[in-house]
Amino acid sequence: MRQHIALIALLGGIPVALGIWPIPRSLETGTSALKLAPDFTIELNVHNPPADLSAAVSRSANYIKTDKLEQLVVGRGASNSSAVSRAPQLKSLTLSLEPGSTVHSIMDEAIKEIGTRSEEYKLDVPASGESATLTANSTLGLLRGLTTFEQLWYDLSGDTYTIQAPISVIDTPAYPFRGFMLDTARNFFNVSDIKRTLDAMSWVKISQFHWHVVDSQSFPLQIPGFMEVSQKGAYSSSMVYTPEDVQDIVQYAGERGIDVMVEIDIPGHTSVFSESHPDFVACAEASPWATFASEPPAGQLRFASATVKNFTAGLLTEVAKMFPSSIMSTGGDELNTECYAQDPETQATLKETGQDLQQALSVFMQAAQGALQTQGKTPAVWEEMVLDNNVTLSNDTVVLVWISSMDAAAVAAKNFRIVHAPSDYFYLDCGAGEWVGDDPEANSWCDPFKTWQKSYTFDPLANLTEAQTSLVLGGEQLLWTEQSSPANLDPIVWPRAASSAEVFWTGATLPGGEPRNGTEALPRLHDVAFRMAQRGIRAIPLQPLWCALRPGKCNVDS
Ligand SMILES: *[C@@H]1O[C@H](CO)[C@@H](O)[C@H](O)[C@H]1NC(C)=O
Ligand SMILES: *[C@@H]1O[C@H](CO)[C@@H](O)[C@H](O)[C@H]1NC(C)=O
Ligand SMILES: *[C@@H]1O[C@H](CO)[C@@H](O)[C@H](O)[C@H]1NC(C)=O
Ligand SMILES: *[C@@H]1O[C@H](CO)[C@@H](O)[C@H](O)[C@H]1NC(C)=O
Ligand SMILES: *[C@@H]1O[C@H](CO)[C@@H](O)[C@H](O)[C@H]1NC(C)=O
Ligand SMILES: *[C@@H]1O[C@H](CO)[C@@H](O)[C@H](O)[C@H]1NC(C)=O
Ligand SMILES: *[C@@H]1O[C@H](CO)[C@@H](O)[C@H](O)[C@H]1NC(C)=O
Ligand SMILES: *[C@@H]1O[C@H](CO)[C@@H](O)[C@H](O)[C@H]1NC(C)=O
């Protein structure tokens, strides 16, 4: 008997031992046991395979050996032991590219312009023990398929098995931009913390690392030609990302199918430039900070100044050269106008040039975006740049919606492409209380805590017209790190950030057109969390183990 996953959900059946996340476009499973032969191998039927594809195959083979994840059911699979012991043995999985495909490295495929990447794949695992096959049009598609293959297997007394053979998957994502954002400026994360996060991201097919690398508090990014900024602005000489570190991270990400969008947030959130270039920053560390900034320390670039504009364009040009991605962000959130109203230098410049603040901002943004475009980048900004300001932006600008999910429609009305990053669904830091000192009664500004269930209900097309749907590139979950460090990175992110990974892989609905179903998703997300834990990520439990082993039993109405 073969059944479609959508039918399982509709018929109210409990999905046993099906840990695939995100859910594929099409999935057919059977009810036979199949186990891996002791000498199981992954064969790469690709001429001159790129090194990162061979490495991905080795990683997969290794995960399949070492995951040792037991089924999340009472007895942990013991009731299947006789079926498993009699099961046919799968000797190999064969990977090949469709005839006519050109062979590029996974990284080269992953950093292609958004919307031109090929992530689709087909995976077939016969029940008989005959070789399984994985085909794709690109090495990136093969990587996505390998990731799915890894999720099929459980351990029972040393046997690596499934009880759902045959398995047939045809898969492709709904949206190309499936992201995770990490802020490395409020608190520092070293290269190995970031790599560990990239690994976990790749396991749920996240395609985009949005690196909010610098902010008012610290400037850890070393930029050739602009070394003084990090020399003076990093928390310490060891809390920096050298150009070699950046290359290492970008390469590590690319090999795992992840593109890195770096963000240099300007002209707000730039107090730190006052350490190296005091003349460039208005209201630096002004008090009370709340008058001049959303959080301490205050300080914003004097963007009306020609010198500052030229400096910024030069800096952005050098950053652009460090990152091979075709997309780069100049931020642009939370610009405080009082800071400039009280800044004699800015007022004098505006008077001299006969500009108002908005006109000067427009000129500055054109210089900033011009620098990016000269380097071949598509520019990205936070939503305020199009919703709260009257500045001329390049029409290919990608806009990240963060303040509220309800702002997406206004951005679409201006015909800009959208990445959903709304605080009311996707901010991972909300609900942890106030961090500003001397304020014991306050809560976080974006209370409450955003559970995976809340994130999972997000509708990428809410309130958009049919014609506007093509403006949606995808979305991301975000970790702002005022109260995070390597100490709580894994627990605060995982498995919650897998939630949007499925939303943006599957799209507005499940593949069959039914609404996404958190009840159906929960056992699979438990699987994600437990598999991550087996691989060294300190993912947190979503429920008591009792519930994880009894799908459905802890629902509100059961
Ligand atoms: C969600 O899935 C559960 C379990 O499969 C099922 O009982 C329920 O009816 C589904 N809900 C919707 C709205 O489809
Ligand atoms: C595995 O065990 C479950 C629970 O007892 C059972 O429903 C299923 O049919 C078994 N599958 C196989 C292949 O033995
Ligand atoms: C390869 O691309 C073609 C054309 O888009 C598509 O029909 C086919 O299904 C793809 N193959 C795989 C294995 O995804
Ligand atoms: C990076 O940070 C982690 C966790 O804080 C620590 O265990 C590790 O030693 C650090 N690695 C390096 C290279 O500094
Ligand atoms: C502009 O900045 C560059 C460095 O990026 C510097 O070499 C040049 O002198 C500056 N030009 C002006 C007019 O300030
Ligand atoms: C926006 O800027 C344009 C060009 O500078 C100007 O013509 C227009 O009046 C401005 N609109 C508002 C609402 O300020
Ligand atoms: C952006 O503007 C260019 C040049 O004016 C035009 O060719 C292109 O079609 C526009 N793109 C979009 C997405 O509107
Ligand atoms: C969509 O519009 C409705 C009605 O105006 C509103 O209640 C809802 O919050 C909106 N949702 C989003 C995501 O914009």
Gap from CA of 137 to ligand 3 centroid (Å): 6
CATH of domain 3-171: 3.30.379.10
Q: Which residues pair with 472 in a beta bridge?
A: 418
User: Catalytic positions, please?
Assistant: 334
Ligand 5-lining residues (CB < 6 angstroms): 307, 310-311, 314
Residue 104: closest CA among 60, 52, 177, 43: 52
Q: Indicate the top mutation candidate among 353, 359, 363, 390 to test ligand 6's pocket, ranked by most ligand atoms within 8 A of CB.
A: 390
Token pair of 463 as six digits: 């309130």
Residue 213: closest CA among 113, 287, 315: 315
Domain-wise residue ranges, the chain:
3-171, 177-507
Residue 401: closest CA among 498, 321, 472: 472
Which contiguous run of DSSP H or E holds residue 400?
strand 398-401
How far, in Å, CA of 484 to CA of 339, rounded?
28
Q: Is the CB of 148 under 6 A from ligand 2?
A: no
Chain mean position to CA 285: 32
Angle (deg, nearest 10), helices 243-255 and 306-322: 50
Which is the CATH superfamily of the domain at 177-507?
Glycosidases (3.20.20.80)
Contact 191, 240 (CB under 8 A): no
Which contiguous run of DSSP H or E holds residue 472?
strand 472-479
Q: Indicate the top mutation candidate among 226, 308, 310 to test ligand 5's pocket, ranked by most ligand atoms within 8 A of CB.
A: 310
Q: Indicate the top mutation candidate among 113, 114, 392, 396 to test ligand 7's pocket, ranked by most ligand atoms within 8 A of CB.
A: 396
Burial of 148 by CB count in 10 Å (0-12 exposed, 13-18 middle, 19+ buried)? Answer: buried
Q: Which of the ligands is closest to the CA of residue 471? A: 7
Amino acid identity, position 74: V
Using CA positions, which residue lies closest to atom 5 of ligand 7? Answer: 395
Gap from CA of 120 to ligand 3 centroid (Å): 7
What length is written for the chain? 558
* pLDDT value at residue 16: 44
Task: Give me Rg for the CA atoms of the chain.
Answer: 25
How far, in Å, CA of 438 to CA of 135, rounded?
59
Residue 201: closest CA among 504, 417, 423, 517: 504
Q: Is the CB of 390 under 6 A from ligand 6?
A: yes
Pairing of strands 208-212, 177-183: parallel
Using alpha carbons, list the distances in angstroms from residue 97 to 28, 169, 289, 421.
22, 16, 57, 34
Using CA positions, which residue lies closest to atom 4 of ligand 2? Answer: 79
How far, in Å, CA of 511 to CA of 513, rounded?
5
**Who's near 279: CB < 8 A, 6+ residues apart?**
302, 345
Q: Is the CB of 520 under 6 A from ligand 1?
A: yes
End-to-end CA distance of the chain: 29
Taking only the tens of pLDDT, the chain with its 558 residues reads: 334 444 343 333 444 447 999 999 999 999 999 999 999 999 999 999 999 999 999 999 999 999 999 999 999 999 999 999 999 999 999 999 999 999 999 999 999 999 999 999 999 999 999 999 999 999 999 999 999 999 999 999 999 999 999 999 999 999 999 999 999 999 999 999 999 999 999 999 999 999 999 999 999 999 999 999 999 999 999 999 999 999 999 999 999 999 999 999 999 999 999 999 999 999 999 999 999 999 999 999 999 999 999 999 999 999 999 999 999 999 999 999 999 999 999 999 999 999 999 999 999 999 999 999 999 999 999 999 999 999 999 999 999 999 999 999 999 999 999 999 999 999 999 999 999 999 999 999 999 999 999 999 999 999 999 999 999 999 999 999 999 999 999 999 999 999 999 999 999 999 889 999 999 999 999 999 999 999 999 999 999 999 999 999 999 998
How far, in Å, CA of 502 to CA of 175, rounded?
10
* pLDDT value at residue 17: 47
* pLDDT value at residue 96: 98
